[in-house]
């Protein structure tokens, strides 16, 4: 398992041509970067649904894992506009982003729907990139407690069904998403260290990883590396050069 998992959800920022161009540029960096070749970093990209096949063709040969931005909790059926986990697997998807704060705020996602999606993804062999984070800026201790509670609510069905596998927890304090700066170093480390300790030794989720997102970009990883397993990048990774810079930082921090 790589020391760091580093990647980006492209959300709906790019169309088809821009997504493929960005992926080609980042794949070219990953293909020759020592951090990827040595196994220090597992790079990933999460494009829109229509771009997944093209992105898999470009990214996978460069050692990049490809994810999806959402998934339905049923494997198939009369769910117009939805995509099931088994189909994502057929397309070469290996991760799926679940429970992002935007999905909760804009599309009514709840702890219950998130838990159903997590269980369905694990059951299909997909690794959930499970987004959790407190709504309001407070102290690290209360934030960590809120995040552990949210984490366990999201894992409830998987635990009840005895379904496990790979899990990546993306800690994204909601108040830091889209902000000019990420959360403070001590805040991030205070929360992620608690989450990592909480998941350590979990028999259903062996090797669960905790990454940080929320205005994450170059310069942050060296300050939080001891207490995180990677970073979930947003708009700061839209420049492929920035992605390469973060790979440099990961190699130095490993």
User: Which amino acids are annotated catalytic?
Assistant: 100, 172
Instruction: List the structure tokens of 187.
Output: 């805040």
C-alpha–C-alpha distance, residues 48 and 75, integer Å:
19
Question: Nearest CA to 174 among 104, 97, 96, 221?
Answer: 104
Distance from first CA to last CA of the chain, Å, rounded? 13
C-alpha–C-alpha distance, residues 72 and 202, integer Å:
25
Rounded to the nearest 5 percent, the helix, strand and coil shares of the chain are 50, 15, 35
For 137, which DSSP code? -
């Amino acid at each position: 398992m790589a020391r760091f998992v580093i990647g980006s959800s492209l959300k709906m920022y790019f169309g088809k041509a821009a997504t493929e161009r960005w992926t080609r540029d980042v794949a070219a960096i990953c293909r020759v970067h020592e951090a990827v070749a040595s196994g220090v970093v597992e790079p990933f990209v999460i494009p829109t649904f229509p771009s997944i096949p093209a992105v898999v063709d470009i990214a996978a040969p460069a050692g990049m894992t490809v994810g999806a931005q959402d998934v339905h909790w049923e494997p198939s059926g009369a769910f117009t506009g939805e995509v099931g986990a088994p189909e994502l697997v057929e397309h070469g998807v290996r991760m799926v982003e679940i429970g992002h704060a935007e999905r909760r705020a804009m599309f009514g996602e709840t702890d219950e729907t998130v838990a159903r999606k997590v269980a369905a993804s694990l059951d299909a062999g997909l690794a959930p990139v499970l987004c959790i984070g407190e709504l309001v800026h407070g102290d690290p201790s209360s934030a960590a407690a809120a995040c552990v509670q949210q984490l366990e609510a999201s894992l409830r069905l998987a635990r009840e069904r005895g379904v496990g596998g790979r899990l990546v927890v993306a800690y994204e304090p909601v108040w830091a998403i889209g902000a000019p700066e990420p959360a403070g170093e001590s805040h991030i480390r205070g929360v992620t260290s608690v989450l990592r300790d909480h998941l350590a030794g979990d028999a259903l989720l062996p090797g669960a990883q905790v990454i940080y997102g929320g205005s994450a970009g170059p310069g942050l990883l060296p300050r939080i590396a001891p207490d995180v397993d990677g970073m979930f990048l947003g708009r700061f990774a839209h420049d492929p050069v920035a992605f390469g810079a973060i790979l440099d930082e990961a190699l130095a921090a490993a």
